[in-house]
Each structure stands twice: as structure tokens, then as C-alpha cells.
């Protein structure tokens, strides 16, 4: 029978007896099977290959000249052809010697054997995969046998994790049991993620599902920010060193120069469903109907039924073939307003079905809104609150507080924020770091952090005024999306930060004024942050300040343990 060859067996030893390992004997090689040394064998086959190739070419040339058929071969020509093939096969194997060596080595490990015991003994034991990080010990916080049984039920899947709050009627206990089950399933400890000291009832059905703890983010205060004649201490939740200090320096420069002035340009949240018709002509008929001023009052009545604060402002449509994108814009009071505008849009779509029964609603949002994505429509048309904020910084303040000059700031702003961003193809990103300030204030005041994307659209302008002695600086932000009611604004920590700014909750005297004021504070804070960072870059202080405030020599391994 056909059995693959294998290397000679090693002498068998007992399991408890150590094996003798010879470090001097090299592993077998493919060239060991050759009768002659490798260099002589190679020379012979190289010479043979080129000799017979030359001989055959010479013979075939003579046949062509004498009109002799090439398939008529002599015994010597047959021998030459065989030699050519044999030498070619050898040379091919020689140049692939590494492959041959690996194949023989692999074959020797996997060689067949009629004796199963010998085969198993020759097979090397599997190498265990190393673990990248050793898991920390899991510390349980369960106090009752009943909780232990519930954890086991969650682990084995008989009780869904998401239903713990409704089954237990205690949100904190549900978070504790979910946390313990998660540690057992993953084998990883959540020690360090705090559980106590948080009101889990406040997030139920509103802010976060299936909680297992909360993350601590430090809140710093920048200011006072002198804006429109009032002073504001701006809370900023961040883990980036130097951010609060830099914004605070910008606030000082603005305060010393007499303060900043803001103007609210627009206030309207948007939602844009996408609908489809059988033809583009039919879709265009709905477009003309929606954009006809004679129909607006009727559509506004239908839309405004969704809320006592929702007020439809305008409708803009965009056609893509037989698909129509309808962008509704409305005021939303002190709420950020996404849910409010979505309800109004739903009312209008149901109303339109009577006159356009062939309208197929594909989605309540067709991304023409556009929410949580960089989009030119928000940069041009605006979304939420559109604000411009400006200040004139005196020459002596630029020199003493910001440590630079007016000319340097104007030049840097042109080359960095304007030209550099244009070269990069920026969309609404003609600024130094507006997203830094927006994100920090959003987290501190309970806004949706994901809306930082379009809310950070900002163009920063700087120019010399008063014969070039003073600096005029402004930020224009067309889509600041904020609210002072709903969502995370109702949590205790975030509510406290809103209260610090004087914009907590809904305004009873003038609905919407609190959210509009918050938007102007965001813009004023961005103005301060832009002014300070640009000054640090112009003065060459950026690296040194980050090394001072954004680096720590503390041993975090010992700190966490």
C-alpha cells in the first residue's frame, strides 16, 4: 500500500522520565536526500539543462532548414528531451527549496502511522494563546440570596436584562444585579465604575437604558464671560487639560475689553421626511403644493397641533427623481425640539394622504434635516439657533493678556482658519477648535453630545480696527442645537449647571428665551476659546501650555489600584 515516509522514530521514554534533547543535531533538510553535495548536484543539472537546450535548438534549426518535420525525432533527441524535462523539474524544486523544506517538515509532523499511540506521542502539544490583559478580580456587591438567584437567572437568560427595572420596581437594585451579571458573563471587573450616588429613577425611560453605573467627568468653570452686559460662569465638562484654562483666558480678554455682543439670527429646528411617488411628475406636484404660500396656513394649523410650543416657519423641498425630500422648520420653545418637530411632520404627512393617496412615506427622516451629520444645508440654511457673536479686543489686552499682537492674530486666522480650512475642504470648519467648547458645555448642561457635529459649524473672523491697533473678532455659528427642558437637562448635575447659567427649565414669561440665551452663551464661550487658542499658536505657547496642563506625572497604575 502507499504510505508516506516519515523520519526515523525516536526512542520511547516514560512520561515521567525527562527526554534528552540534543542541541547539536540539526533538523533534517530536503537536500539531505541528495546522493552528492548540493553544490555539485546543482552544477550538474544547470550544465545539463543548458546543454540539452542548446542541442535541441541546434537540431530543430537544422530540421527547419532541411524541411524535416519536427515530430520526427531520433533516439538521441528523445534522450535530450527527457534530460531537459528532468533538469527543469529539479531546478524548479531547487528554487522552491524553502517550500519543499517546509512541506517535508509539516509532513513529518503529520505523518501517518498505523500505531495510534506512536502518532499521538509524536504530535507536539498545542501552544496556549497568551492573554493580553489579566482580568482584575471580580468583587461582588450582592447582599441577599434572592439577588444571587436573580443574577443567575439573568446569566442563564431566563430573565432578560432589560426587564429588571419593571420586574424589581427598584432601579438601583436593577442596576446592581445587571452589573453583577455582566461581570460574571464577561469575566471582567467593573471595579472603578461607580454605582452609588446616582438617581437611576431619573434616567428610566428617558436618558439611558440598562445602566450599570455612571461615568464621572470633572466640570470646570470658565469666566466670568461678559456677554450682552451680563456675566456668566460657564460650566465645562471635559477631560482635556488646558481647555478650561484657555477658555478662561479668552473670557478675561473679552471682559477686560468691555465684553462681547451676540445676535440671534434664526431659531428653528428641522425634520425632513422622504416620500416616493410612481413618477417624478407626481412628486413635483406635491413639491409645488407644499411651497405654495396659499397652502402654508392650512399646513401650519395641522403641524402646530402637535404641541403648544411648535410653530411651523417654512417648508423647503428637494426633488431626486420621483423621490421628494420635505424639510420642515419650526420653533420649539425651550426644548431642543426633535421629538416636537417629528410629531408635527407626522401630522402633516397624514393630512397629505387624503389629497395624495399614492404618496409612499419611506422614512420620517431622509437626512435632508440634517441631524448629527456635517451637511451644507445646515451650514447655509441653519438648524436650531443661528448666532453671531463679536468683540473688540484692545491692543494692550492683546499684548498683556494674550501675549501676542493684532497683526499676528489677523494673519494666522487668515492662513489657518480660512485658507487652511479651504484647502482641507472643510464644511463649516473654519475655526480653531469650536467643537472643544461646544462639547464641554453640552455634556455639562445635558445636551445631546452627538449634535456637536453640526452645532460646531463655525467661521472665525479676525481683523484690525481703529487703524489696526485693536482686534475685531467674531464667530458665526448657524446651527447651535440646544434646549433647557427634556432629555438630559432634567438630571440633577446637568440641571445644576443650567441653573448656574440662569437658564434652567422653561421660561414662563417668554417661551424659548432660555434656550436662545443658552445658544448665545455657547457662541460667546466659543469666541473666548477661539481667541485664546489662536493667541497661543501665534505666540508659540501651545506646546508649552499643553505640557503644563495636559500631562501628568502621576502613576495611574497605583492610583487606580
Among the listed residues 136, 228, 240, 390, the single catalytic one is 240
The answer to whether 467 and 417 have CB atoms below 8 angstroms apart is no
Beta strand 219-227 with 360-363 is unpaired
Q: How many C-beta atoms surround the C-beta of residue 272 within 10 A?
A: 25
Please state, in angstroms and as integers, the Cα–Cα distance from residue 199 to each residue in 86, 427, 490, following that order: 84, 40, 11
Give the H/E segment covering residue 267: strand 261-271
How does DSSP assign 194-207, residue by residue?
--SS--GGGGTTTT
* β-bridge partners, 464: 471
Three-class SS state of 537: helix
The answer to whether 521 and 429 have CB atoms below 8 angstroms apart is no
Distance separating alpha carbons of residues 532 and 542, to the nearest angstrom: 10
Ranges of beta strands (E only) in 405-505 are 429-430, 458-465, 470-480
Three-class SS state of 272: coil
With 0-12 / 13-18 / 19 or more C-beta atoms within 10 angstroms meaning exposed / middle / buried, residue 369 is buried
Active site residue 98: no
In the numeric block, the cell 462681547 is attached to 260
Active site residue 240: yes
Three-class SS state of 2: coil
Active site residue 372: yes
Among the listed residues 372, 403, 416, 472, the single catalytic one is 372
Phi-psi region of 520 (alpha: psi -120 to 50; beta: other; left: phi over 0): alpha
Please state whether the peptide bond connecting residue 224 to the residue before it is cis, i.e. omega within 30 degrees of 0. yes
With 0-12 / 13-18 / 19 or more C-beta atoms within 10 angstroms meaning exposed / middle / buried, residue 95 is exposed
Active site residue 58: no
Distance separating alpha carbons of residues 530 and 348, to the nearest angstrom: 42
Distance separating alpha carbons of residues 475 and 465, to the nearest angstrom: 16
| CA-angle at 230, arms to 227 and 234, nearest 5° | 70
Which residues, including other chains, have CB under 8 Å from residue 6's CB and lie 6 or more apart?
107, 108, 111, 112, 113
Tell me which residues are annotated as active site: 240, 372, 448, 546
Amino acid at each position: 500500500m502507499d504510505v508516506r515516509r516519515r523520519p526515523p522514530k525516536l526512542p520511547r521514554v516514560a512520561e515521567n522520565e525527562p527526554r534528552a534533547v540534543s542541541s547539536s543535531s540539526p533538523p533534517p533538510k530536503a537536500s539531505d536526500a541528495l546522493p552528492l553535495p548540493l553544490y555539485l548536484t546543482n552544477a550538474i543539472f544547470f550544465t545539463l539543462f543548458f546543454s540539452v537546450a542548446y542541442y535541441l535548438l541546434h537540431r530543430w534549426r537544422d530540421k527547419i532548414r532541411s524541411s524535416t518535420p519536427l515530430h520526427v525525432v531520433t533516439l538521441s533527441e528523445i534522450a535530450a528531451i527527457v534530460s531537459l524535462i528532468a533538469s527543469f523539474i529539479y531546478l524548479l524544486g531547487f528554487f522552491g527549496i524553502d517550500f519543499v523544506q517546509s512541506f517535508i517538515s509539516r509532513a513529518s509532523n503529520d505523518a501517518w502511522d498505523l500505531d495510534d499511540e506512536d502518532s499521538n506521542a509524536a504530535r507536539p502539544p498545542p501552544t496556549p494563546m497568551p492573554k493580553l490583559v489579566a482580568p482584575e478580580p471580580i468583587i461582588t456587591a450582592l447582599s441577599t440570596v434572592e439577588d444571587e438567584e436573580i443574577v443567575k437567572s439573568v446569566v442563564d437568560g431566563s430573565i432578560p436584562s432589560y426587564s429588571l427595572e419593571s420586574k424589581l420596581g427598584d432601579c438601583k437594585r436593577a442596576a446592581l444585579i445587571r452589573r453583577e451579571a455582566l461581570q460574571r458573563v464577561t469575566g471582567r471587573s467593573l471595579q472603578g465604575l461607580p454605582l452609588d450616588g446616582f438617581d437611576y429613577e431619573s434616567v428610566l425611560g428617558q436618558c439611558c437604558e440598562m445602566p450599570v453605573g455612571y461615568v464621572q467627568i470633572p466640570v470646570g468653570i470658565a469666566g466670568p464671560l461678559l456677554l450682552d452686559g451680563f456675566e456668566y460662569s460657564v460650566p465645562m465638562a471635559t477631560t482635556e487639560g488646558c481647555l478650561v484654562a484657555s477658555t478662561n483666558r479668552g473670557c478675561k480678554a473679552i471682559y477686560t475689553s468691555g465684553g462681547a455682543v451676540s445676535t440671534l439670527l434664526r431659531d428653528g429646528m428641522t425634520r425632513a421626511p422622504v416620500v416616493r411617488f410612481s413618477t417624478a411628475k407626481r412628486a413635483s406636484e406635491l413639491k409645488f403644493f407644499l411651497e405654495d404660500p396659499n397652502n402654508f396656513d392650512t399646513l401650519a394649523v395641522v403641524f402646530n397641533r402637535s404641541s403648544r410650543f411648535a410653530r411651523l416657519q417654512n417648508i423647503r423641498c428637494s426633488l431626486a427623481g420621483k423621490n421628494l425630500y420635505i424639510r420642515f422648520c419650526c420653533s420649539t420653545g425651550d426644548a431642543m425640539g426633535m421629538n416636537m418637530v417629528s410629531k408635527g411632520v407626522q401630522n402633516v404627512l397624514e393630512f397629505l394622504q387624503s389629497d395624495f393617496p399614492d404618496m409612499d412615506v419611506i422614512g420620517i427622516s431622509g437626512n435632508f434635516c440634517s441631524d448629527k451629520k456635517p451637511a451644507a444645508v445646515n451650514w447655509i440654511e441653519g438648524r436650531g439657533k443661528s448666532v453671531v457673536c463679536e468683540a473688540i479686543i484692545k491692543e494692550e489686552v492683546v499684548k498683556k493678556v494674550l501675549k501676542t499682537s493684532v497683526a499676528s492674530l489677523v494673519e494666522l486666522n487668515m492662513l489657518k482658519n480660512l485658507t487652511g480650512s479651504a484647502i482641507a475642504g472643510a464644511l463649516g470648519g473654519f475655526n480653531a477648535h469650536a467643537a472643544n467648547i461646544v462639547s464641554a458645555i453640552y455634556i455639562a448642561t445635558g445636551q445631546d453630545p452627538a449634535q456637536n457635529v453640526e452645532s460646531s459649524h463655525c467661521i472665525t473672523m479676525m481683523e484690525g480696527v481703529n487703524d489696526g491697533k485693536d482686534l475685531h473678532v467674531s464667530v458665526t455659528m448657524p446651527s447651535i442645537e440646544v434646549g433647557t427642558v427634556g432629555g438630559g437637562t432634567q438630571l440633577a448635575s446637568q440641571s445644576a449647571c443650567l441653573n448656574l447659567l440662569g437658564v434652567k427649565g422653561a421660561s414662563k414669561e417668554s417661551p424659548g428665551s432660555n434656550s436662545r440665551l443658552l445658544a448665545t452663551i455657547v457662541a460667546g464661550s466659543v469666541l473666548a476659546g477661539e481667541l485664546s487658542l489662536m493667541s497661543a499658536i501665534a505666540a508659540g505657547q501651545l506646546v508649552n501650555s499643553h505640557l503644563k496642563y495636559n500631562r501628568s506625572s502621576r502613576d495611574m497604575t497605583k492610583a487606580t489600584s
